[in-house]
Structure 1
Amino acid sequence: MKLGNVPVAEITPPMILAVVRDIEKRAAIETSRRVLQRISAVFIHAVAHDLTDSNSAANLKSVLAPVVHQRRSAITELPRLYQLLADVESMPARPTTLLALRFLALTGVRSGEVCGALWSEIDGDLWNIPAQRMNMKRAHVVPLSRQALEVLAVLRELTGNALYLFPSQHNVNRLLSGNAPGYCLNRAGYQGVHYPHGFRSSLSTIMNSRHPQDGAFIELILAHEKNDKIAAAYNRAQHIEERRGILQEWADLICEGIGNPRHLLEVRAR
């Protein structure tokens, strides 16, 4: 390790930058930034314990290569989506991970919101996600389709006494890793083809094509930010029943052929 044997007080900004640049060269831009954050945290600890006078990593973020966010691939045709779900649910994996993926596809929310879902947020056939867990920091209510409720019924047998719907395999008091759904898709052969976030694109594309007049309700399902923020602040109508109808139709479409989620309890864990 280039810095491992160097006393922290002797590590200079150019030395740190050289390490981070090597990571950038591997096209791991986001990883390079996370490494810089960890190095900075070490320096903060060292300064607090009088091991060095300053944080040599403090001002390097501005000279790193920029993170370029690209649109992630998604399957937006029903036949291919049927095949994806069948492929994923037939592979060896933990039942809770497979159930999380199905719940993700059914509800149209983001992966992190599913992985961090709490049993206390479920109220009958509504899922109340608090603002602090939402990307836009606004509370979001998800009407649950019959198929989503079937997922919950199976989950209750597995995790009903836990804090989270989808707890970690190693600690029931911790949530499922946000990377787990993506890894599951990758193992099923969909790396670079469909990402967990892609189910939102699938829902939007397919349901907008079927019901172009209901675009506003579909945007509400996806919890997208309104362009007119003043109008958004005053118009707080939830349109639960309209969204419920769209999500039920969506669930009926994508669950064609994959059956009740109870069979996922029989899938051999990876």
Structure 2
Amino acid sequence: MTGLRVRHRGTVALDSVDLALGTGVHGLLGPNGAGKTSLIRVLATVARPSAGRVELLGRDTAGRRALGEVRARLGYLPQEFGYYPGFTVREFVAYVAWLKELPAAGTPAAVERAVARVGLADRADAKVRTLSGGMVRRLGVAQAIVNEPDLLLLDEPTAGLDPEQRVEFRELLRELGASATVVVSTHLVEDVAAACTEVTLLDAGRVAYRGTPGALAALGETSGGPGDHPVERGYTAALRAHRATEAPR
């Protein structure tokens, strides 16, 4: 994407964002209101930019035909996703597979695979309304990956997961990132440090930092800033550096 600009209710949510993402797991960090969710929504084709060019999976999303092709190849988990509480886990994931127009012959196997990958195989026949908050979040990941997407977008995917589940989720992210472009918006720097190949830090709608988690951690080691983790210290140092050099808009 180049020159991306997004306005939301009269406020500039993203401004002059240039970003190219390849195969791997890309972490999105930033304070509340930095523009992370706005960027995820544009990548998911849910929101349209006010200006700029967005190319996803080799297609310019300005065209209606291209939008349909891109949506069939992406997976998306928003911060809050809608579901039918009366469906079973299996039924809900199958319903999303149908919406994504997966071939009928391969859908049952795709559903079972997605449910198993998020650790819900033993709850496949349970009603969604009986699931805990963490299980519902894992269900959200399952529906996002049922079509084996080439572009996977996850907004705060580990919210509600316990530490053991987060470790398992990081392993899944690394597995998915081996062959797809995975974008994860999160406030948890441990997830970025453990699972991401690259990190983009947004601040007030602009890119404040982009690099590897290791480079961000190294920045934290030399900054002496606050934080219990090197990536946390690097996060603070990068924000300070960006704000010191950013020209007023």
> What interval of TM-score do these two structures reach, taking the shorter chain for normalisation?
under 0.3
More helix by share: 1
More strand as a share of residues: 2
- Higher Rg of the two aligned structures: 1
